Amino acid sequence: MHGAIGRMRDLRRFVDDTLQGLPDATLVVDPSGQVVLANRAARDLFGVLTGRPPDGRPLADLLAAFGPGEAPDEVAARGSAYQLRREALRSARGRAIGEIVRLTDISALRAAARQREQVLQLLSHDMRSPQVSILSLLDSPGADRPPPGLARRIEAYARRTLALADDFVHLARAESAPLDLQLLNLGDLALEAADELWPQASAKKVRLTAEGGEAEYLIRADRSLMARALINLIGNAVKYTDAGGRVDCRVWREGSQVVCAVSDTGRGMPAEQLARLFERFHRGAAARSSDGVGLGLSFVQTVAERHGAELDCASTEGQGTVFTLRFAEAAEV
């Protein structure tokens, strides 16, 4: 008997020490909605908000001290934002015996998100506007137009700045925006991406083909992100393939995976460049002679990671490159 009582005391001490050590404000609530346990962080928080400790008080009264937050699972008070999580407590027989309520201060995350949006707004509008104005002025006839050689250089710099702003915005949103997952046919997406790049390929006299539209290769993906990722891969292949070469985009099924490969007969890359291929702003020797800004492949990698896909690249200098994406096949509902 004494041994059992001792074990119960040890268990209670262990639970209490664990609760007190949690950095988030945490409450244990009984079935009637009364707080039976509160850790130090919760006492500090509610001491500031209500002037009293939370122990023995109704949970509803404590939560009334907060207002709505920016998301359904968030609350706010005195300029701070908190994520509110509630988990049911059940006995060994499955009977409800209360709940654990946790309040996590996410004020710093919210401030960072707002700052991020301000930067994206700066890049997507405030930085674009003067560059567009520069291009418009260069297209305008008149005596004030700069000499042709200087005009071409100014236009190239303006277009590169626009591309940098656009690519950075797309990458930032790919990293943080919620995914709108849909059941998609990857073969159709590949065909659409190839169709969009066909004019550029034709202008360079590069043969562009796409295979995979004859069957359904279903994945769950965000359509806009996945379409742009494929466009980036095919566009890169076209850019670094010389006239007379070819670019192929193929989609097929391999076991429980759907595979998409973009291959070219272009310039290829040395091993040292492959090691840094997905670094932001990294541009190899071939890229430095083009108008790229070094974010396109970082975007593709980010999209692949967020979709749980595998992205591989194989390349031999002077013989071409193959990018391969592997997705878990989705079952049609």
Q: How far apart are CA 107 and CA 79, in angstroms?
A: 8
Q: Please say if the pLDDT value at position 280 is more than 80.
A: no
Residue in the structure block whose two tokens are 């430095």: 288
pLDDT tens digits for range 242-268: 999 999 999 999 999 999 999 999 888
The set of residues, in sequence order, having a beta carbon less than 8 Å from that of 163 and lying 6+ positions away, is: 291, 292, 293
pLDDT recorded at residue 125: 66
Q: How confident is the model at residue 281 (pLDDT cuts 50, 70, 90)?
A: low
Output 61 or 122, whichever has higher pLDDT: 61
pLDDT recorded at residue 288: 42
| DSSP-assigned beta bridge partners for residue 246 | 207
Q: Please say if the pLDDT value at position 194 is more than 90.
A: yes
The fraction of the chain above a pLDDT of 90, given in percent, is 47
pLDDT recorded at residue 331: 73
pTM of this prediction? 0.60
| DSSP-assigned beta bridge partners for residue 98 | 89
Q: How confident is the model at residue 289 (pLDDT cuts 50, 70, 90)?
A: very low
Cβ pair 322, 263 in contact under 8 A: yes
pLDDT recorded at residue 59: 93
Q: Please say if the pLDDT value at position 190 is more than 90.
A: yes
Q: Please say if the pLDDT value at position 86 is more than 90.
A: yes
